[in-house]
Amino acid sequence: MMRLFIVVVFIVVNFLALAIGGAYTSDGISSDWYQELNKAPWTPPGWMFGVAWTTIMIFFSFYMANLYRFGKSRILIFGLFLLQWVLNVVWNPIFFYFRNVEFGLVVILCLTGIVGVFLFKYYNLLKLRSLFIVPYFLWLIIASSLNYYIYLYN
């Protein structure tokens, strides 16, 4: 029962991040500014972002629940999670509201690095459970490349 509770807590916290970030994303995507940007040819269709982030945050919640359960340094784990959460939330207003593509790129690269730390630092502890974080890491690599393309060609 406690395991399920921890998963649910992480799901709620992760979806709160999506909701806050999404408040800045929806208007940003439909803005003339974003529509007129030169975007990477591999930019996924808009609907895919919602599906991807929903799936990613569910998997990431299971990952974090397992890491919380088996990890020894909960303060470090919580600190990394909090930093990841903040970076995930602030990228949206930086990119879409403030239209700061360069700083957005810095933020998303930092976020990718933090998720990479989770994946590689705790792989030996979680083994196959580490697969829960792989979609997040891969999606951030793609998202970073999209941000970088916009930075280069606009």
* pLDDT tens per residue, range 74-86: 999 999 999 999 9
pLDDT at 129 over 90: yes
- Region 3-24 average pLDDT: 94
Amino acid 25: pLDDT: 83
- SS3 labels along the chain: CHHHHHHHHHHHHHHHHHHHHHHHHHHHHHCHHHHCCCCCCCCCCHHHHHHHHHHHHHHHHHHHHHHHHHCCCHHHHHHHHHHHHHHHHHHHHHHHHCCCHHHHHHHHHHHHHHHHHHHHHCHHHHHHHHHHCHHHHHHHHHHHHHHHHHHHHC
pTM attached to this predicted model? 0.95
Which domain covers residue 130, as residue numbers? 2-153
- The Cα 128–Cα 126 span in angstroms is 6
The CATH number of the domain holding residue 97 is 1.20.1260.100
Question: What value does the mean pLDDT of the chain take?
Answer: 95
Count of the separate structural domains present in the chain:
1
- The Cα 114–Cα 38 span in angstroms is 28
Amino acid 30: pLDDT: 85
What single-letter amino acid sits at 48? M
